[in-house]
Amino acid sequence: MGGRSMIVCVAHNITSPLGMTTAENYAAVKAGMSALKHYDGLWGLPEPFVASLIDRKAFTDDRYTIVEQIVIHSISKALENTGIDSASARVLFILSTTKGNVFLLDKRETGFPQERVKLGVMAKQVSNHFKNPNESIVVSNACISGVCAQIEAMRYLESGEYDYVIVCGVDVQSAFIVSGFQSFKALSPDECKPFDANRCGLNLGDAAATIIFTKKDKVTENEWVACRGAIRNDANHISGPSRTGEGSYRALKVALGDLKADDVAFINAHGTATPYNDEMESIAIERAGLAGVPVNSLKGYFGHTMGAAGVLETLLSMQAVNDHNILGTRGFETLGVTHKLDVSNQNRPTNKRAFIKLLSGFGGCNAALLFAKGGLHD
Amino acid sequence: MIKHNVYISPDKVLVDGKALTHNEKGSALLTELYRNNVSDYPKFFKMDTLSKLGFVASELLLNAEGNRDFEPREDRAVIFFNKHASLQADTHYQSTIQDPEHFFPSPAAFVYTLPNIVTGEIAIRNKYFGETSFIVVEDYDEKIIERNLKNSFQDPMTKSIIGGWLDCLDEEHFEAKIFLLYKD
The 10s digit of each residue's pLDDT in A281-326 is 999 999 999 999 999 999 999 999 999 999 999 999 999 999 999 9
Instruction: Please tell me the distance in Å from B90's CA to the nearest CA on chain A.
Output: 8
* Mean pLDDT for chain B overall: 97
CA distance A314 to A356: 9
Contact list, B84 vs chain A (CB under 8 Å): 118
Instruction: Check CB contact under 8 Å for A119 and B136.
Output: yes
Question: Is A363 in contact with B147 (Cβ distance < 8 A)?
Answer: no
Contacts of A137 in chain B (CB under 8 A): 135-137, 144, 148
pLDDT in tens, A162-198: 999 999 999 999 999 999 999 999 999 999 999 999 9
- C-alpha–C-alpha distance, residues B42 and B143, integer Å: 36
Contact A175 B97 (CB under 8 A): yes
Closest CA to A362 of A138, A98, A58, A127: A98
**Using CA atoms, how far apart are residues A64 and A111, in angstroms rounded to an integer?**
10
What is the fold, at CATH topology level, of the domain defined by A6-216?
A: Peroxisomal Thiolase; Chain A, domain 1 (3.40.47)
CB-facing half-sphere around the CA of B100: CA atoms within 13 A: 9
The pLDDT, as a whole number, for residue A378 is 63
For A232, the closest of B84, B130, B147 (CB atoms) is B130
CB of B170 less than 8 A from some CB of A: no
Taking contacts as CB-CB distances below 8 angstroms, the residues of chain B near A236 are: 124
HSE, side-chain direction, 13 A CA sphere, residue B85 = 30
Q: How confident is residue B184, by pLDDT bands cut at 50, 70 and 90?
A: confident
Q: Tell which phi-psi region holds residue B182, choosing left (phi > 0), alpha (psi between -120 and 50) or beta.
A: beta
Amino acid at position A3, single letter: G
CATH class belonging to A224-373 = alpha beta
The minimal CB distance from B83 to the residues A120, A159, A361 is found for: A120
The minimum CA-CA distance between A280 and chain B, rounded to whole Å, is: 16
**How far is the alpha carbon of B64 from chain A, nearest alpha carbon, in Å?**
22
In order, the DSSP letters of A8-46 are EEEEEEEEBTTBSSHHHHHHHHHTT----EEESSGGG-S
Mind listing the pLDDT tens digit for each residue in A117-154?
999 999 999 999 999 999 999 999 999 999 999 999 99
Q: Please, which contacts does B8-16 make with residues 24 or more away whose CB atoms are closer than 8 Å?
A: B8/B33, B8/B53, B8/B56, B8/B57, B8/B60, B8/B174, B8/B175, B8/B176, B9/B174, B9/B175, B9/B176, B10/B172, B10/B173, B10/B174, B13/B60, B15/B60, B15/B61, B15/B64, B16/B64
Q: What number is the average pLDDT over the span A56-85? A: 97
Q: Where in chain A is the domain with CATH 3.40.47.10?
A: 6-216, 224-373
Task: Give the integer Cα–Cα distance in Å for A347 and A296.
Answer: 10
CA angle A369-A67-A147, nearest 5°?
5
* Residue-wise DSSP of B10-51: TTEEEETTEEPP-S--HHHHHHHHHHHHT-S-GGGGGS-HHH
The answer to whether the beta carbons of residues A188 and A55 sit under 8 Å apart is no
- Helix pair angle (B49-65, B87-97), 10° resolution: 150
Cα–Cα dist A201/A329, whole Å: 15
| A81-85, A362-366, B97-101: least confident range | B97-101
Residue B139 has pLDDT above 90, yes or no: yes
- Three-state SS string over A206-259 comes to CEEEEEEEEEECCCCCCCEEEEEEEEEECCCCCCCCCCCCHHHHHHHHHHHCCC
| Dihedral pair phi/psi, residue A169, rounded to 5° | -100, 140
Of A117, A109, A165, which is closest to residue A137 (Cα–Cα)?
Answer: A165
Q: Where are the domains of chain B?
A: 2-182
User: What stretch of H or E contains A154?
Assistant: helix A145-158
Task: Select the residue of B91, B105, B123 nearest A364 (Cβ to Cβ).
Answer: B123
Q: What is the DSSP letter of A185?
A: T
pLDDT of residue A1: 39
Per-residue buried b or exposed e for A313-352, using 16+ beta carbons within 10 Å of the residue's own CB = bbbbbbbbbeeebbbbbbbbeebbbeeebbbebebbebeb
Asked whether the beta carbons of residue B123 and residue A235 sit closer than 8 angstroms, the reply is yes
% of chain A beyond a pLDDT of 90: 97
pLDDT in tens, A239-280: 988 999 999 999 999 999 999 999 999 999 999 999 999 999
pLDDT at A377: 81
- Return residues 38-97 of A near B (CB < 8 Å): 44, 46
Q: Which of A194, A366, A87 is nearest to B116 (CA)?
A: A366
Q: Find the CB nearest B114 among A98, A120, A156.
A: A98
Q: Judging by DSSP bridges, how do beta strands B2-9 and A207-216 pair with one another?
A: unpaired
Please tell me if residue A231 touches chain B, with a CB cutoff of 8 Å: yes
List C-alpha distances in Å: B184 to A95, A154, B12, B129, B177.
Answer: 29, 21, 30, 21, 21
Contact criterion met (CB < 8 Å) for A364 and B78 = no
CA distance B139 to chain A (A): 8
pLDDT at B23 over 80: yes
Mutation target vs A (from B75, B76, B94, B121; most A CBs, 10 A cutoff): B94
CA atoms within 13 A on the CB side of B139: 2
Q: Residues of A numbered 238-257 whose beta carbons fall under 8 angstroms of chain B's beta carbons: which are they? A: 238-239, 246-247, 250, 254
Selected residues 178-207 of chain A with any CB under 8 Å from a CB in chain B:
179-184
Q: Does domain B2-182 have CATH number 3.20.20.70?
A: no
- How far is it, in rounded angstroms, from Cα A255 to Cα B151? 18
Strands (E), A107-162: 137-139
Mean pLDDT of A18-24: 98
Contact call for B135 and A139, based on CB within 8 A: yes
* pLDDT over threshold 50, residue A2: no
**Please, what is the Cα angle at B131 between A234 and A287, to 5 degrees?**
45
Q: What is the largest CA-CA distance in chain A?
A: 59
